[in-house]
Amino acid sequence: MPVRPKKPEEIESMRVAGRLAASVLEMIGDHVGPGVSTGDLDRRCHEFIVNDLASRPAPLNYSNAPGQPPFPKSICTSVNHVVCHGIPNDRKVLRNGDVLNIDITVIKDGWHGDTSKMFFVGEPSVLARRLVRVTQECLYKGIEQVRPGAFLGDIGAAIQRHAETHRFSVVREFGGHGIGQIFHDEPLVLHYGQRGTGVRLEPGMTFTIEPMINAGKRNVKLLPDRWTVVTKDHRLSAQWEHTILVTDDGVEVLTRRAEETALAPAAA
């Protein structure tokens, strides 16, 4: 299916949704710590999205596969060996040394902003700190490939090369995706592959880059809840995500947070 670039007014709506999604991650960081449940983090994010941002949390009651139950919460919380789509609950209490991914998707006026960030709970292990750092570097190296005329394969090749150089593995069952008024749209953005392959990028395209990198082998398993994905070897996993826009001369990160001084700011 051809990928339709966004019109200028649609891009502005994406900028708004992206800024709001980033603000949720900026808000919730102060509430992450030992003794806090992932259920509590979900409630805080839900209230902030609905009441403060006058928006909707896209994951709540979302389903995109036949027979898959609706996702029951407003954010995804993936702890330690959970690769993605972890379901918040009050029984899952964070402990010192945990690593946590919080995945946020906000809908504002029908447009989606999708982003995630890794958090340390207390003092992480040396391995956890290195995995989280390298995974964020993978995201940034993928973003650096984005420009008109480049290929989606350029993004995946850069991410795979960096992860494997550090003796980590890339999850292959999940990837980034087109995004706009549809949560998960074309194209599929693989986090591995070969340069010069896949869709050629054009100005106005919007999609996510969200590498999932494992400390051990790349193999994953879906739990019986039909959502939670874990590493088969129970080794740590990490993920970072941004929604990006292909511009006339490069890339704009629509979900950039204020702390990310290495990334060019989104348009005002």
- CATH code of the domain covering residue 46: 3.90.230.10
Residue range 88-103: mean pLDDT, rounded? 98
Q: Is the pLDDT of residue 217 over 90?
A: yes
211: tokens are 């590498």
Q: What is the model's pLDDT at position 268?
A: 45
pLDDT tens figures, 48-86: 999 999 999 999 999 988 889 999 999 999 999 999 999
Q: Which domain holds residue 98?
A: 8-253
Q: How many domains does the chain have?
A: 1
89: left (phi over 0), alpha (psi -120 to 50) or beta: beta
Q: What is the pTM of this model?
A: 0.96
Is residue 3 in some structural domain? no
Residue range 3-28: mean pLDDT, rounded? 97
Is residue 261 in some structural domain? no
pLDDT band at 263 (very low <50, low <70, confident <90, very high): confident
Q: What is the model's pLDDT at position 261?
A: 85
pLDDT tens figures, 131-187: 999 999 999 999 999 999 999 999 999 999 999 999 999 999 999 999 999 999 999
